[in-house]
Amino acid sequence: MTARIGVVTFPGTLDDRDTQRAVRLAGAEAVPLWHRDKDLKQVDAVVLPGGISYGDYLRAGAIARFSPVLETLTGQARDGLPVLGICNGFQLLTEAHLLPGAMLRNDHLHFVCREQRLRVENAGTAWTTAYRTGEEIRVPLKNMDGRYVADERTLDMLEAEGRVAFRYLGGNPNGSLRDIAGVTNEAGNVVGLMPHPEHAVEPLIGTGRTDGLGFFTSILKKLVDA
């Protein structure tokens, strides 16, 4: 039976179709989910893709956080449903308190769009088992509100528990504290990151590499093994 991975679309979502394609390339079925619907259509995992939901009014992800689909998703994520938040999806996961910390405007106050080096810090989550801890990957980065912040106690907790999933290499592009590019929840089923792995799944697009495909093959393998 083919694994079913839901991809949520909000008003202002930009990368839902790219994400659906990445899911299909990995070998799973991509299931479109609409933000107004509470029904997750019995999917096995969910991706919150990048974009500018509700124009980033108030704060990035702050309005989308109250969408009906999030009511269902939040409860199921806490019960173990695998969820990946990319860029705006990461912002949304922090707003929904499924991940700690918050996302603020880039410290240089400019939009950044570039190929970004990352180091995999945790290869044990539902979305990262295709990688090795310490491995360097390159995926596109594009954001205006990408600065990850948290209080020192939370940062120390994330470091001590191995919950920093990815760290920026080759220069911090947005001022994120401790060069954090992505984090995971304690159970490892919820992961958020600012760079865009869905834009690095085919050699003809994005970075010209397929470094991002591992996110989608990781969750597929986990679901098949389960």
Please tell me which residue in 35, 87, 95, 199 is annotated as part of the active site. 87
For residue 68 the two structure tokens come to: 């009906």
Sheet of strand 112-120: strand arrangement: 29-34, 4-9, 45-48, 83-86, 190-193, 180-184, 164-169, 112-120, 136-143
Please tell me which residue in 35, 95, 196, 199 is annotated as part of the active site. 196
In the annotation, is 113 catalytic?
A: no
Please tell me which residue in 95, 121, 198, 199 is annotated as part of the active site. 198
Those residues with Cβ within 8 angstroms of residue 202's Cβ, 6 or more apart along the chain or in another chain:
25, 210
In the annotation, is 35 catalytic?
A: no
How far from 60 is each of 24, 56, 123, CA to CA, in Å? Answer: 28, 4, 27
CB 176 within 8 A of CB 158: no
For residue 143 the two structure tokens come to: 């954001």
d(CA 13, CA 34): 11
d(CA 127, CA 125): 5
b/e burial code for range 179-209 (CB count within 10 A of at least 16 → b) = bbbbbbbeebbbbbbbbbbbbbbeeeebbeb
Those residues with Cβ within 8 angstroms of residue 156's Cβ, 6 or more apart along the chain or in another chain:
none
Extract the runs of DSSP E, i.e. beta strands, from 157-202: 164-169, 180-184, 190-193
Catalytic positions are 87, 196, 198
